[in-house]
């Protein structure tokens, strides 16, 4: 009998402990999901909520302030999302606040992110519906990245082809780099042009001292000096005119 009583006592103690743990777990989970305490119910309409689930977090400024309490199809293009918000966050959520659906990382769970709104506006009230922003779908991001990757692949292939052609001596640039005789001819041509230019300068200097052409070059020098004097005189007159205008 004593052993049986001792067994029943232990069984009862275990049952009480299990009940306390269960109540604590329920309270903790309920608190995390905003089932207990003072809360506010608001909603938002979206065109699409793909990936969003009941129980998903609602964030304000990156901080969890509530959870998604319900998702219902209103029309074929409109979905209503019901949210439970902590009462202490109500004063920060204004009438013109906007809700958007975002992800925790590129492939993470969906969450509701609320933009608080204008500081001068009044806070939301129980049952209010706030505006929403069109979500950026992960599929669209992946498709965009694929297009960028494909374009980069095409560009890389073209660059590789051009480099291969240049290395094999194809095209004007390839011939210029590979054909040593062409480079030599260009160098020789440049040297000849330089010599021709130097020879022309020497011929012009010799022509100036030739008694047959001396008069011509003297006349040219006089005309040049005359033009310089006229330009200088004109500049002086303009300067005097400006100084006169300043004095007046």
pLDDT in tens, 67-97: 999 999 999 889 999 999 999 999 999 999 9
Distance CA 84, CA 70 (A): 9
Comparing 9-18, 71-80, 156-165, the range with the smallest average pLDDT is: 9-18
Q: How far apart are CA 150 and CA 153, in angstroms?
A: 5
Q: What is the pLDDT of residue 71?
A: 92
pLDDT for 220 beyond 60: yes
pTM here?
0.46
> CA torsion, points 58, 61, 65, 71, in degrees to nearest 10?
-20
Query: Cα separations (Å) of 85 from 64, 137, 189, 248?
Result: 9, 25, 84, 78
**Which has more confidence, 229 or 138?**
229
- 58 bridge partner residues: 66, 112
- Taking the C-alpha atoms of residue 159 and residue 156, their distance in angstroms, rounded to an integer, is 5
Which of 70, 14, 9, 21 minimizes the C-alpha distance to 41? Answer: 70
* Residues 41, 84 contacting (CB under 8 angstroms): yes
Collapsing DSSP states into helix, strand and coil, what is residue 141? helix
Provide mean pLDDT across the span 167-179: 60
Cα 135–Cα 124–Cα 41 angle in degrees, nearest 5? 75
Each residue of 189-209: pLDDT tens digit? 777 777 666 656 655 665 555
Look at residues 227, 222, 202 and name the one whose alpha carbon lies nearest to residue 214.
222
């Amino acid at each position: 009998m004593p052993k049986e009583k001792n067994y029943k006592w232990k069984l009862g103690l275990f049952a009480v402990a299990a009940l306390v743990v269960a109540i604590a777990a329920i309270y903790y989970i309920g608190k995390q999901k905003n089932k207990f305490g003072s809360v506010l119910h608001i909603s938002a309409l979206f065109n699409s909520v793909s990936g969003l689930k009941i129980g998903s977090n609602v964030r304000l400024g990156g901080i969890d302030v509530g959870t998604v309490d319900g998702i219902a199809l209103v029309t074929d293009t409109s979905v209503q999302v019901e949210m439970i918000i902590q009462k202490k966050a109500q004063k920060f959520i204004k009438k013109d606040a906007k809700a958007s659906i975002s992800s925790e990382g590129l492939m993470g769970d969906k969450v509701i992110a609320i933009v608080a709104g204008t500081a001068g506006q009044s806070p939301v009230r129980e049952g209010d519906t706030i505006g929403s922003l069109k979500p950026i779908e992960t599929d669209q991001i992946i498709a965009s990245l694929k297009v960028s990757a494909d374009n980069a692949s095409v560009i890389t292939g073209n660059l590789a082809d051009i480099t291969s052609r240049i290395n094999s001596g194809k095209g004007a640039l390839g011939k210029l780099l590979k054909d040593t005789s062409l480079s030599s001819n260009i160098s020789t041509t440049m040297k000849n042009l330089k010599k021709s230019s130097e020879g022309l300068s020497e011929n012009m200097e010799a022509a100036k001292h030739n008694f047959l052409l001396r008069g011509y070059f003297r006349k040219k020098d006089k005309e040049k000096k005359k033009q310089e004097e006229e330009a200088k005189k004109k500049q002086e007159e303009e300067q005097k005119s400006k100084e006169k205008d300043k004095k007046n």
